[in-house]
Amino acid sequence: MVLVTTVQFPTDLPHSSGAAVAMWADPADIEPAAQEQLRNVAALPWTHRLAVMPDVHFGKGATVGSVIAMHGAVSPSAVGVDIGCGMAAVRTSLTASDLPDDLGPLRSAIEAAVPVGWNAHDGHADVRHDPGLTSRVDEHLRGFGSLRAPGIGERHGRAVAQCGTLGGGNHFIEVMLDEAQAVWLMLHSGSRNIGKELADRHISAAKGLEHNLDLPDRDLAVFLAGTPEMDAYLHDLYWAQTYARLNREVMLALVEDVVRGAFPGVGFGERVTCHHNYVAQETYDGVDVIVTRKGAIRAGRGDLGLIPGSMATGSYIVRGLGNEAGLCSASHGAGRRMSRNKARKAFTVEDLEAQTAGVECRKDAGVLDEIPSAYKDLGAVIAAQTQGDSPLVEVVSKLDTIVCVKG
């Protein structure tokens, strides 16, 4: 049974009665620390509405899996430090019958083409089959000098080298099969270190502003509309969101090159892309608001989105239903059910091997914190937003993982 509730969280902050909260998660399943974060967000005097996704869990300042509509303000922590993080996928002309029995060489070739973990390109990524993409990346990087966060200029070289790189943690590149056994390529990554550097600098600046000094959680510090500080943050944030999208485009092009080399004559068709840590200016209840989606995707009517699971559970392509009660949003994935440290202590490499059986991927201690059992059940998360009286999305396709690359 899907639970959609409207909650008025009490508050002792001045000039606020608490914003309405619509939830696609059972409050009993939300850890106490995350519940406290939701109360803090709802109590802010600038919060117009708050929508809680079924993958909600504790984050820095604001929970992961929350969509916050603010009037006249924006909180950088409600976006997150990996600005513009999101998904990209493309369907190939290949089918399962075209693939070899041993997918190890394909995984190794992808890992050789796309730097993972702490690695980066030696200068600019070489996108051979899409010179137009290279031009767009170059043009965007020329705007680096306009960034307004203090001391960011020294990060230029690293931003260039990291465009087209995966990173680590829950970021991945996967080869997948849909229900018709068509082969898809999918990846998950964001704005790499430059997004984090920009976010950290602006969060630090926000914490020092007088109107934020009495907040229940200083990590929720906001910038106010019409101020130079908010203008500077949004300028840098929109730059980072575009960088994140281009980062995924470059990686997808590099993976496509690998697949071309392995399967001459392959074609590439339908593409699906989406951010899930980002800012958008939208209107709800006749009020112009700034919407932050932290661990959530836009699910306006007809919008296609990607909701991934963990290393072995597959992912879903979904179509938004434009549910305004949910601020036209949906979850960004399954969501963690335990911390990375707890997962490392709770499971063994043997557990990882068992849970990723049938998937060509790393099966070592370095990715133990990404074991499927560290995440919520993806099927339940999808059901929570596709069933009941107030669905957020409808399922277009289920994709099953056969190759997973992680840093």
List the catalytic residues. Answer: 332
In three-state secondary structure terms, 248 is: helix
Residue 334 is labelled as binding a ligand: yes
Residue 276 is labelled as binding a ligand: yes
Residue 191 is labelled as binding a ligand: no
Residue 10 is labelled as binding a ligand: no
In contact, 74 and 238? CB cutoff 8 Å: no
Residue 188 is labelled as binding a ligand: yes
Handedness of CA 213, 216, 221, 223 (dihedral sign): negative
Residue 25: C-alpha distances to residues 5, 126, 272, 382, 391 (Å): 9, 44, 26, 11, 12
Contacts of 320 (CB under 8 A, 6+ apart): 298, 299, 300, 301, 302, 303, 304, 305, 328, 330, 392, 393
Q: What distance in Å separates the CA atoms of residue 386 and residue 305, rounded to the nearest whole number?
A: 13
Residue 173 is labelled as binding a ligand: yes
Within a 13 Å sphere around the CA of 346, how many CA atoms are in the beta-carbon half? 14
Residue 309 is labelled as binding a ligand: yes
Q: What distance in Å separates the CA atoms of residue 235 and residue 243, rounded to the nearest whole number?
A: 13
Tokens of 51: 């929508």
Residue 225 is labelled as binding a ligand: no
Q: What distance in Å separates the CA atoms of residue 195 and residue 112, rounded to the nearest whole number?
A: 24
Residue 315 is labelled as binding a ligand: yes
Residue 310 is labelled as binding a ligand: yes
Residue 332 is labelled as binding a ligand: yes
Residue 40 is labelled as binding a ligand: no
Residue 323 is labelled as binding a ligand: no
Residue 290 is labelled as binding a ligand: no
Residue 335 is labelled as binding a ligand: yes
In contact, 380 and 349? CB cutoff 8 Å: no
Strands 20-23 and 47-57, sheet pairing: parallel
Contacts of 54 (CB under 8 A, 6+ apart): 24, 25, 65, 331, 335, 376, 380, 381, 384, 385
In three-state secondary structure terms, 40 is: helix
Binding site for Mn(2+): what residues are annotated?
Answer: 82, 171, 188, 276
Binding site: what residues are annotated?
Answer: 82, 170-174, 188, 276-277, 308-311, 315, 332-335, 406
Binding site for GMP: what residues are annotated?
Answer: 170-174, 276-277, 308-311, 315, 332-335, 406
